[in-house]
Amino acid sequence: MDNVYGGSAAPAKRLTVPEIRARKGKSPLAVVTAYDFTMARLVEEAGVDVVLVGDSLGMVVQGQGNTLTVTLEEMCYHGRAVARATRRAHLVGDMPFMSYQVSPAHAVESGGRMLKEGAFESVKLEGGGEFAEHVRSLVRVGIPVMGHLGLLPQSVHALGGFHVQGRSAEAAQKMVRDAQALEEAGAYSIVLEAIPPDVAAEITAAVRVPTIGIGAGPRCDGQVLVISDLLGLARGQSPRFVKRYAELGDAVVRAVSAYVGEVRGGAFPAPEHTYKS
């Protein structure tokens, strides 16, 4: 492939938006969240395709009850940290609550800040056809957009909590139309959260861009999990759709308890942990 600026183009270091689109129906996309340098470096080494800096950091990192308090500045801060640790994975960031809803122009301003100040390569926003013009405006100025349908955490109060969506035929068909509207507006992929698997499969078949499922069954073009859920860092009961691939919360408590015991008992630091004169 020729570089338009002259010479041969070097291979892309990061997974690009066109490459993600091209994975539709071919190779499933593995997506995880990360919010800091250390975790981002580890998931990058593990080979994930896309790292999402989600506004779920409000709950996972800050201990809030929902995602609504997260600010644009906080998203950019965490985005910069994650960007420093990643080289191959595509980096997408959630547009936080009220950073895009007011108007398409407001969405462009916020999205531009996320790419410039947060080092993101694309942004994700929640909502369907009612935000198609917002998506179109973002894409028009060169800001790639990932959509998000189904359970919309930023609408938790309107939805009456974190509940499965799309169970009625009417709601399912609206979700199909919303997905098509997002695709037509230029979204390069769409997250489907907490919807019945048959509805997710119908949406996946109805659009030409990849769908990324979370609690949406196996017939999406990829899957995403929150890293603390995947690793078992959040102790206690997990949502039904979560598979815990480790129980690191228990391991952390055991390790720190051992440290506390050795400090109090005088076993740490030992001679091998001290410098010689």
**Residue 73 appears among annotated catalytic residues:** no
SS3 (DSSP) at 269 = coil
d(CA 110, CA 94): 11
Cα-Cα-Cα-Cα torsion 118, 122, 126, 131, nearest 10 degrees, comes to 110
Q: Can you read off the two tokens belonging to residue 228?
A: 């603390």
For residue 215, the Cα-to-chain-centroid distance in whole angstroms is: 14
Taken as a whole, the chain contains a residue count of 277
Q: What are phi and psi of 246, to 5 degrees?
A: -160, 170
In the chain the beta strands, taken as DSSP E runs, fall at 29-33, 50-53, 90-94, 122-124, 145-150, 189-193, 211-214, 222-225
Q: Answer for the pair 232, 244: CB distance below 8 angstroms, yes or no.
A: yes
Catalytic annotation, pick one of 74, 121, 126, 193: 193
Neighbours of 162 (CB within 10 A): 14
- Per-residue three-class SS string for 7-53: CECCCCCCCCHHHHHHCCCCCCEEEEECCCHHHHHHHHHHCCCEEEE
Active site residues: 193
